[in-house]
Chains A and B, each alone.
Chain A
Amino acid sequence: MTGAIRIGIGGPVGSGKTRLLERLLPMFATAGIDTAVITNDLMTEEDAERVRRSGLIDPARVMAVETGACPHTAIREDPSANLAAIDVLERRFAGLEVVLIESGGDNLAATFTSDLVDYWVFVIDTAAGDDIPRKKGLGLLQADLLVVNKIDLAPLVGADLDLMRRDVAVARPGKPTIFTDLRSGVGLDEAFDRIVRDALTLGVLT
């Protein structure tokens, strides 16, 4: 795989994928990393439009991909539409270093194929239930980085964060997990540092 490094962001609907994207974009910009975005919206261009209107990135650097009602297929079995979008972005922006690919909201079994991404993040949230790590979905098991978001909501919905930490440690031995509240920014620096450090190990970012 040549060209820009490709970083996938997957996870269930409402877990905070777009929020993570919006939080990371200024950090990539501050770090001087040339970045573009692809969103795999389930039904509309809502996420792409949200990112375009955010003022965080040149709207021309944001592309939306339709997934034929199969968001998991578009990042796993047949990433053709995403690969085509990457191709367009790389032709449009010669110095492109990173493409962030947000998957359509999917279930816990969604995974990114290595034919599409170099590195990927899976986002879950505490409000969806503190038993998610125990269910050991493939996304949670295989992602390079797990983000457990909305920790601020845990006490409000009766989610046990200590239990989630223990279950995550069992489910992902040796793999990083970061607990975040992306609205306030808790855990965000750690997530960014981790992503950039891992991208550095891939030898792409310098």
Chain B
Amino acid sequence: MPPDRWDAELAWLQLHDSAFPSGRFVHSNGLEAWLAAHPAAGAEVIAAVIEAHLRHNVGTLDAVCVAHAYRAGSTADLVRLDRLVRAHKLSAAARTASESCGRQLALAARRTLAPLDHDEFLGLVAAGETPGNLAVVEGVVHRGLSIGLARAVLGHLRSAYSGMLSAGVRLGRIGPLETQRRLFAGAPLLVELAGAAVETPIDGISAVTPELDVYAMRHETTAARLFST
């Protein structure tokens, strides 16, 4: 690897380090409510739910839109894509998770990652003039840091996977070692989903995880909760 590429590799690691302050840790994407309704579910079942979310929601909607944002030809194209993503986020919880994390990533990136200081689209997100969905912001941020397209999409999927598993750990339902085992064993799934996402046309996006969506909507009106979504 040429020495200058290390910069991009390190930037990729930084973006997907759980220490990067983009607010992902307050979102369980319906998992908290689902776990409350399934007190007997063990690690195997919980992992299957999370993997279904990846396979039928993150992989087929967000990951595809990361790729399209990365390849967008103009800021106007990004704004249109951003609105399209919002239209596909059916529940308020899904919109909240996507837009709050995207907005926080945009704000943090502008403050801390020099090549993105004056990015026009991130500026619109910061000003509240476009929703700032995480997938679109991530595409822009990865391209701005010269991180490759495939890595951008793979990183998005990997962060979504680890974030959901981490929620399971903090809710006391999966062990941290089991989580790491799953993350390692899940590599082929992430690679498969990333490969498909990069090839999917924009009119092929979809998000179909009705059970988790219902629990995410129930979570919106739950009085006792630890996560925003």
Which residues of A approach B to under 8 Å, CB–CB? 42-45, 65-70, 73-74, 77-81, 83-84, 91, 115
Contacts and interface: CB of A to CB of B under 8 A. Distances in A.
A69 B228 CA distance: 10
A68 B223 contact: no
B21 A69 contact: no
B171 A69 contact: yes
Given A81-B100, A83-B104, A84-B103, A44 B223 contact: yes
Counting from the closest, the 10 A-B pairs by CB-CB distance are: A80-B23, A80-B104, A78-B21, A69-B170, A68-B26, A69-B226, A66-B228, A68-B25, A44-B224, A68-B227
Interface in B1-37: 19, 21-23, 25-28
B66 interface: no
Given A80-B104, A83-B107, A84-B100, A66 B225 contact: yes
Contact of A79 (B21, B167, B225): B21
Interface bracket on B = 20 to 34
A80 B99 CA distance: 12
A81 B223 contact: no
Given A68-B167, A80-B21, A74 B26 contact: yes
Given A68-B167, A68-B170, A69-B171, A81 B23 contact: yes
Contacts of B227: 66, 68-69
Interface of A is mostly: loop
Contacts of B26: 65-68, 74, 80-81
Given A83-B107, A84-B100, A78 B226 contact: no
A163 to B, nearest CB: 37
B104 A84 contact: yes
A206 B164 CA distance: 46
Interface string B212-225: 00000000000111
B107 to A, nearest CB: 7
A73 B21 CA distance: 10
A42 B224 CA distance: 9
Contacts of B167: 68
A77 B20 CA distance: 8
A107 to B, nearest CB: 16
B66 to A, nearest CB: 20
A43 B21 contact: no
A78 B228 CA distance: 14
Nearest to A43: B224
Given A44-B224, A65-B26, A68-B25, 11 more contacts: A42-B226, A43-B225, A44-B225, A66-B227, A68-B227, A70-B25, A78-B21, A78-B23, A80-B100, A83-B104, A91-B128
